[in-house]
Amino acid sequence: MNKSYCPSLTEYKRRKTRVVNIGGLPMGGDYPIRVQSMTTVDTMDTMGSVEQCIRMIEAGCEYIRITAPSIKEAENLKNIKEELAKRGYNVPLIADIHFTPNAAEVAARIVEKVRVNPGNYADKKKFQVIEYDDASYQAELDRIRERFVPLVRICKEHGTAMRIGTNHGSLSDRILSRYGDTPLGMVESALEFLRICEDEGYYEIIISMKASNTQVMVQAYRLLVQKLEEEGMQPYPLHLGVTEAGEAEDGRIKSAVGIGTLLEDGLGDTVRVSLTEAPEAEAPVAKALIDRYTHRAEKAQPLKPICNVPINPFQYHRRETVEVENLGGTNVPRVVADLSRQTDVQYADLKCVGHLYSMLLDKFNMNDLGADFIYTGHNPINFMLPNGLKEIVNYDTWLTAEQREDRHPLLDAAQYIGGVERHEKVNFVLLTLQDLSSELLERLKQDKTAVLMLQTNNAHAMPELRKCFFRLMNNGVQTPCIIKRAYGQLTPDETQLYAATDVGGLLIDGLGDGVMLGTEFLPAQEKGEWLQTIDQYNSLSFGILQAARTRMSKTEYISCPSCGRTLFDLQETTAMIRKRTDHLKGVKIGIMGCIVNGPGEMADADYGYVGVGKDKIALYRGQTVIKKAVPADRAVDELIELIREDDKWIEPVQLVE
Ligand code: SF4
């Protein structure tokens, strides 16, 4: 199988792409990776749109996308553009088109770029499985060509660029019938349009493969690059994004898992982070993701190329490992919280790792973010740990500790090779790539008690850790591995984004049986601050596992970022729905601003809350509408009723402290 999808799996190199000129601000080639975002104000509100564009530009946006649902909005782009120019802003504008070729044809004469969704440009989504034979499939393609060619010609004539933006949630019935809901279907959906463009001699194209499922999204982009090469097509620039990522911490983590994973491999020429927040909040997140690669190539320590890639980068398979107690095998990836910088840990302090002590009842409860292990280094805990929580201590501390059977030692490579005394059941071994000698690999193969903690000091961290996994796999070592990363003083946003990229980039390929975010590089703090940091790291670890879809510990919200079509305040509504449902572990709820794209975009949500009109909400079970126009003030109650009917509702429990 041809597994090549990027310039290098070990060295930081950007994929060489074609330069596309977008209103004088080129994208691709050696140009910087561009930041872009989308307005949420009604496109007919010229002044409101202009004000919002200016806020976005000032926050770092280099291109701005504006929805054009019909001809009148497409025409109004001219007024927005002129008003922006009058105020000294010449940012390239992008018209966002769904379902309306006539609006696209108007917009393409006004703005610098149009975005079309191949899933709905010439198709109405019917949610039907239709069997297409070769002749009827070809007839559909001919119909699309006829509908799409006029736009291509207008773009060519006016020097307008185009994004062919596939969305996992809005593939056409034709694609679904032949390829299913798959990364290959997403790629083929774009290629159908791309072939028409190339036949017309039009190449000013950018492509995106967005999904809210990060695994699908990453696989689709990789497959796209491979297919472009295979078909001898141009190396078109890539627009990266995770759709409906959500808000706050979850939205940032999910975006980084998807976008960061691709950036690490040199893929991506522009980034749009979609958060259910004001659009000006998105650009700094995109910028923080991109800026990490500005000096990556100079800072990275060289790694030898990989000859044998033991995974399929286009499909998820978890690396096969032996089960060591509750680690590896089919166990969910575990969370190890680092408490080693904190002395004198008391019962109540374990709240920061999700284990809550009630003084009143004199017992512990565990919330959904209860860590599985704590690493205490040289500061072992002096009481019995609750809820099956286990402790890891440094090897020399373990040797002299009381109740050694209740604690697990952390050995270094020399201690491990040296054959020192061990715990009977689980021994953790802290290693880097350089430690993975043939002798050590042979030892690991015989050892049913070892669990590795893989770490690196290389600035090109994820690829080095990936190389560790590949070496283990190529040598037949099935020892479970915890991914360990540690960061110095970063902003909370940077910590979230970098950790989500480094750890998520491995989990997405089925690599990793746990995560530990180490605290060793953080400056000294007071106890209260430490507990807060550990709390954040613990929640971040669970968030990354969820965003990479490897362990569900919370309710998942797939909320759209909102745009000019949005029929309610998305941020406020999402907060309200969260407040009532965030204890429903593993349930996926889509919150979509409009009926036009909402049902398609919420993809694999279990339930959907979708705006259908002013103060009117449609409620969905999967892709089926159950209640068509519920008044907004009753909609959350009715949503809960729906969840209750499916026996998925549980009453929230107040944990007593
Ligand atoms: S689903 Fe949300 S972002 Fe997408 S078109 Fe509708 S309102 Fe806009």
Q: What is the pLDDT of residues 579-593, one digit of tens each?
A: 899 888 889 999 999
In the chain, DSSP finds a helix count (H) and a strand count (E) of 20, 23
C-beta 245 within 6 A of ligand 1: no
Distance CA 132, CA 124 (A): 16
With bands split at pLDDT 50, 70 and 90, how would you rate the model's confidence at 244?
Answer: confident
CA of 601 to the centre of ligand 1 (A): 8
C-beta 593 within 6 A of ligand 1: yes
C-beta 598 within 6 A of ligand 1: yes
Please report where in the chains the tokens 């205490």 appear, as a residue: 376
- Identify which of 592, 609, 610, 612 to mutate to test ligand 1's pocket (most ligand atoms within 8 A of the CB): 592
With bands split at pLDDT 50, 70 and 90, how would you rate the model's confidence at 130?
Answer: low
CA of 40 to the centre of ligand 1 (A): 9
CA of 559 to the centre of ligand 1 (A): 9
Q: Whose CA is nearest to atom 4 of ligand 1?
A: 597
CA of 446 to the centre of ligand 1 (A): 54
Question: 131-183, pLDDT tens digit by residue?
Answer: 788 888 899 899 999 999 999 999 999 999 999 999 988 888 888 888 988 99
Q: Whose CA is nearest to atom 3 of ligand 1?
A: 562
C-beta 610 within 6 A of ligand 1: no
pLDDT at residue 125 greater than cutoff 80: no
Mean pLDDT, rounded, for 591-615: 87
CB of 334 closer than 8 Å to CB of 374: no
Question: 188-235, pLDDT tens digit by residue?
Answer: 999 999 999 999 999 999 999 999 899 999 999 999 999 999 999 999
For residue 617, give Cα distances in angstroms to 20, 434, 633, 637, 644.
41, 57, 9, 12, 18
Per the structure block, which two tokens stand in for 521? 């590089």
CA 154 to chain centre: 35
355-358 and 363-366: which strand pairing? antiparallel
C-beta 266 within 6 A of ligand 1: no
Question: 367-378, pLDDT tens digit by residue?
Answer: 889 999 999 999
C-beta 602 within 6 A of ligand 1: no
Q: Tell me, what's the pLDDT at 559?
A: 83
Distance CA 221, CA 463 (A): 18
Q: Whose CA is nearest to atom 5 of ligand 1?
A: 597
Provide the annotated binding site: 560, 563, 594, 601
CB of 218 closer than 8 Å to CB of 500: no
Q: Tell me, what's the pLDDT at 541?
A: 98
Distance CA 105, CA 85 (A): 22
